[in-house]
Homo-oligomer: A and B are copies of this chain.
Amino acid sequence: MLLDIRKDTPRPVFRQICDQVSALIDEGALAVGDHLPASRVLARRLGVNRSTVVRAYQELWALGYLESRSGSYSTVRERLRPRAVNSPADSAFPWRDVIPETARDAVRTLEDHPRTAPPPEGVISFASLAADRSLCPLDDFARCLRRVLKEGGSALLDYGDPAGLAELRDAIARRMRIHGVKVGGDGVLLTGGAQHGLELALRAVAAPGAKVVVESPTYSMALPLVRMLGLEPIGVPMKADGLDLDVLARVLAAERPALVYTIPNFHNPTGVTTSQAHRERLLATCEAHRVPIVEDGFEEEMKYFGKAVLPIKSMDRHGLVVYLGTFSKVAFPGLRIGWIAAAPELVRACLALLRFGHLSGSTLGQAAVARFCADGCYEAYLRRIHTVYRRRMTTLLRALRDSLPEGVEWTQAQGGYTLMLGLPGVAPDREPEVLEVLADAGVRVTPGSLFFPSQPQHVHLRLSISNLDEAAIAEGCQRLGAGLGRVGRR
């Protein structure tokens, strides 16, 4: 067996042995039953360490090339060959006829709205709504992760409680109580983020074919989810102070929807936060029609302006509010941890759907976040980002006043990351043209059409400050002003 091992290349020696032996077997130069030299012999011959050869043989065994017998790995093994190659090009099965309409519709939506690529160099992007990586409390989190792994050991890599780690559910219940929601850890179900919470809540409350009320505009990812579950979204207009409650009352009476989905804080995309009085009227309206509310509190912790307003859930005497929370918008999007707080019966239904769909969530991440909360890191982190975002949002609101041409409207965000521009007189079908003009001006925004269940009266654009510092916000607004000044009105 002739091998050509080079020590002056970056490829490790054991990999080189592995590559060359497997090639000899693949080419038939080594046949089934052939013996390889003992590791000691080959090591001497190649002038390498014996452990290097052993590692290569172990690898070859793992790859299915060698037999493993009483500690040695030296016989070429019979490898079964696939009878036919299934390359993608060979895919003749008529999947198109098989995949149900709801799933095909989801594919189309996905393809229509691919994840946006990072903006080109020099472009200022108001499009990203992910937490700012430069503010990520990485060191604290890494420390918490190390500690829980040291203390919890392999139990954290094992199946966990399907409802989620008790320590984290308790920590969340404590935070919910700060927001006026009296709930214990057993009233909290951990989910794989707010999107997963919304999916479970929709499935637990609405059977396929049902109608659901959404705000118009609403969170862009809610619409394809609603449709994917075979539900029909009915948009009720957002006004400057939240959902139009008169329209809502009429819709509840006429359409008998299965639920109302609402985002009372820093509404995505408009940034509107509703008043305590609006929340009370919304709840009373839904109570009167016995229609459950799904309250998306995705940025409950982003109240850095003005007076605190309590969640609708805090006033929910009858238990018809299903509250969705998440750590993703504020701190750790990639850990996929959110929660549902709701009446016990509804929590049980969501738990059953979660259990049979997923078995459980990821215990390790849950444990690290629980520790992050218990150690006070979460509060400290919130204080830090509040200061940052209060400054950013103040800058944005001032810069919009200074920079935008007359006739452009915008919502007054009271926290969170986003607000929405409206271009009255600019027909909605001109959205692509507007985006192009703005791209030419060196600024990117999110098109409003993503957020409306049906076509709005004019073009809307969402701005997010989650990933821009103050200088970029000011400069971005000047570019926005310059670009929008070139958009003619009809």
Contacts and interface: CB of A to CB of B under 8 A. Distances in A.
Interface of A: 55, 58-59, 61-64, 68, 78-88, 90-96, 98-104, 106-107, 109-110, 115, 130-131, 133-134, 136, 138, 141-142, 145-146, 149-150, 153-160, 162, 178, 180-183, 187, 192-193, 195-196, 199, 203-208, 221, 224-225, 228, 230, 258, 276, 280, 290, 292, 307-310, 313-321, 328, 331-336, 343-346, 348-349, 351-353, 355-365, 376, 379-380, 382-383
Nearest to A368: B364
A382 B150 CA distance: 23
19 contacts: A63-B178, A78-B307, A81-B180, A82-B182, A83-B315, A91-B318, A91-B319, A93-B319, A99-B345, A100-B206, A103-B349, A110-B352, A133-B154, A136-B153, A146-B146, A156-B334, A157-B335, A224-B356, A362-B362
Given A195-B358, A352-B106, A141 B115 contact: no
Nearest to A283: B83
Contacts of A346: 95, 99
A231 to B, nearest CB: 11
A205 B99 contact: yes
Given A63-B178, A86-B181, A96-B345, 5 more contacts: A62-B178, A82-B310, A103-B204, A115-B162, A157-B332
Contacts of A333: 157-159
Contacts of A258: 98
Nearest to A351: B110
B308 A64 contact: yes
A383 B71 CA distance: 11
